[in-house]
């Protein structure tokens, strides 16, 4: 029994009430399923047959899609991020960043993309508590044309 217990540790992941059994060969996979079900029965733990799925190539678990290619984002979660309404308050921004941070490992240059949003989140109290308007310094030589000229020629633009 000890040897089967060690082999099960290499092919089973249990998380709360989900049990994932995986293996590369079909025969070994069937053997491990039988072993896991036997051990559940020995410990008087039961699984509902209607909730069980066997021999799946693709599964959705904890917000991820697990397949032969590896771990991917769930497409419904991708749509949730891309269709998210533009945050108009700090709380809405924090909700969005919290949701998007869950998938940061799948988004190339995620930290570069969210730098400005993170800065807004961190410095919002300065913006909200400011009692005076922001001043834009326009004494730079090139900016004087923007204020004085009605039309810019191609060289100025």
Q: In this structure, what token pair is assigned to residue 1?
A: 């029994």
| Overall average pLDDT of the 98-117 stretch | 80
Neighbour tally for 80: CB within 10 Å: 13
Could you state, in order of their start, the residue ranges of all structural domains in the chain?
A: 2-55, 86-157
Inform me whether the pLDDT recorded for 54 exceeds 70.
yes
Encode pLDDT of 4-25 as tens digits: 455 556 788 888 888 888 887 8
- Residue scoring higher pLDDT (106 or 130): 106
What is the per-residue pLDDT for 44?
Answer: 92
What is the average pLDDT value for the chain, to the nearest integer? 74
Separation of CA 51 from chain center: 26
CA angle 58, 74, 54 (to 5 degrees): 25
> 137: pLDDT confidence band, cut at 50, 70 and 90?
very low
Residue 15 to residue 12: CA distance in whole angstroms: 10
Q: What contacts 37, CB < 8 A, 6 or more positions away?
A: 47
> 129: pLDDT confidence band, cut at 50, 70 and 90?
low
**CA quadruple 145, 149, 154, 157: dihedral positive or negative?**
positive
Strand order in 70-73's β-sheet?
59-61, 64-67, 70-73
């Amino acid at each position: 029994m000890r040897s089967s217990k060690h082999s099960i540790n290499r092919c089973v992941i249990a998380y709360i009430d989900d049990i994932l059994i995986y293996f590369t060969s079909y025969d070994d996979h069937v053997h491990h399923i039988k072993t896991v079900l036997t051990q559940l029965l020995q410990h008087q733990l039961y699984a509902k047959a209607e909730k069980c799925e066997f021999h799946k190539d693709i599964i959705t678990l904890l917000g991820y899609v697990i397949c032969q290619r590896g771990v991917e984002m769930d497409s419904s979660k991708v749509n949730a991020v891309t269709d998210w309404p533009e945050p108009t308050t700090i709380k809405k921004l924090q909700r969005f960043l919290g949701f998007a941070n869950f998938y940061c490992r799948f988004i190339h240059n995620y930290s570069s993309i969210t730098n400005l949003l993170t800065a807004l989140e961190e410095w919002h109290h300065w913006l909200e508590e400011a009692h005076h308007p922001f001043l834009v310094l326009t004494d730079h030589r090139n900016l004087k044309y923007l204020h004085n000229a009605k039309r810019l020629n191609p060289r100025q633009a």
